[in-house]
Amino acid sequence: MNVLSGSLLAISRLMPRGYWPMMQIAVKLDSSLRDYRISLARAPEMPLRADLGQSVFVQLFRQGCIPHQRGLDIICQRLIRPGDVVFDVGANIGYTTAMFATLIGPSGKVLGVEPSPPSFSLLWRSLSTVENIVLVNKGLSDRAGELTFYIPSWLDRASFTAIPNAQAVSVSVVRGDELSQIYGQPQFVKIDTEGHELQVFEGLRSTLARDDRPIIVFEALGAEETRASVSALSKATSNAYDIRRIRLDGTLTKYDDAGTSDLLALPSWASSRLQS
C-alpha cells in the first residue's frame, strides 16, 4: 500500500459520511487494495481477503463487523458450540462463515453455501484453506436444478428475486436435505437469502422434521415475508419451534410479524444452550 492510498483509507475509516467515495479513490490509486486483509471483530484469527473496491466490504473495513447484524452475531455466539455442524446459507463473502468456524473449533464443520459467482469467488479466496470449512457454490431451494439469480452492484443484495438493472445469471441449486445427508445433520442453520427463505425451508423439510432439528436464525425482509416464513416453518415442523425476534443488542423479544428483522427459531433441545 502506498502512502497516499493508506492516508485516504485511514481518513475514510474516521469519516462519519462520504467515506465510500474516498475508498474508491484509494482503490483506483492502489490496486493492492483489491486484496486487503480485514481483521474481523468476532474472528480476528481469520481475516478476510477483501476487495475494497466492492461496497460489501465497507463496514467490515470500518468496524470489523456488520453494524445492523450485531444482535444476530451475539445470538450465534451464545448458541453455537464446539463440534457443531453449521450451515451458513447465503454465506456471501464469508463474514459469518469465519465467525462460525471460530466457534465450532477443529472438531466441527461449517458449510458456507453461496450461489453468486462473484461473492463465492471472494469467499473462496478468503476461506478455502480453512480445515473446518466446506464451501459450496450453490443455492438452497425446494428442488435441485438451475435457477436465475440476480446480482446488483451491492453484492450483499443479490437475490433469486428479480432486481432492476442487476445482472441475471443461471446458478445451481440443491435441496438442503441433500447437504444434510452428505455432511451430517446440522445443529445450527443461518439463512440469509433475500426473500428465498420459503423455498429453503421446503428443501430442508426432512432435516427439520427430525427430533434433533437444528437451531435456525433467519432474516425476514418485511411483515408479509415474516408471516410467510414463520408459517412455513411452523407447518413443516408441527409448531416445534419457539420463534423469537432478535434485537440489535442481542436480547430476544416475543415474535411479531412487524417489519424487517432477524428471527430465531429455537427447538426444545437447544433451550439449555440459550440459558447457559
Q: Report the relative pairing of strands 85-89 and 109-113 from DSSP bridges.
A: parallel
> How many whole angstroms separate alpha carbon 60 and alpha carbon 41?
9
Q: What sign results for the dihedral spanned by CA atoms 110, 116, 121, 123? A: negative
> How many whole angstroms separate alpha carbon 119 and alpha carbon 114?
7
Q: What type of residue is 227?
A: R
> How many whole angstroms separate alpha carbon 68 and alpha carbon 70?
6
Could you tell me which of 182, 186, 175, 239 has the C-alpha nearest to residue 217?
A: 186
Backbone angles phi, psi at 226, to 5 degrees: -65, -50
Mean pLDDT (10-residue bins), the chain, 276 residues: 90 93 95 96 95 96 94 96 98 98 98 98 98 98 97 92 94 98 98 91 95 94 81 86 93 78 93 87
pLDDT at 239: 87
- Fold category of 67-275 in CATH: Rossmann fold (3.40.50)
Domain ranges (residues) in the chain: 3-63, 67-275
Burial class (CB in 10 A: 0-12, 13-18, 19+), 220: buried
pLDDT at 136: 98
Helices (H), strands (E): how many in the chain? 11, 13
pLDDT at 260: 61
pLDDT at 118: 97
Residue 140 backbone class (left: φ over 0; alpha: ψ -120 to 50; beta: rest):
beta
Helix or strand (DSSP H, E) at 87: strand 85-89
pLDDT at 258: 66
pLDDT at 37: 96
Backbone angles phi, psi at 84, to 5 degrees: -70, 150
The three cell numbers of residue 80 are: 453455537
Residue 85: HSE in the Cβ half-sphere, 13 Å Cα cutoff: 14
| Assessment of whether the complete model's pTM goes beyond 0.85 | yes
Backbone angles phi, psi at 246, to 5 degrees: -95, 120
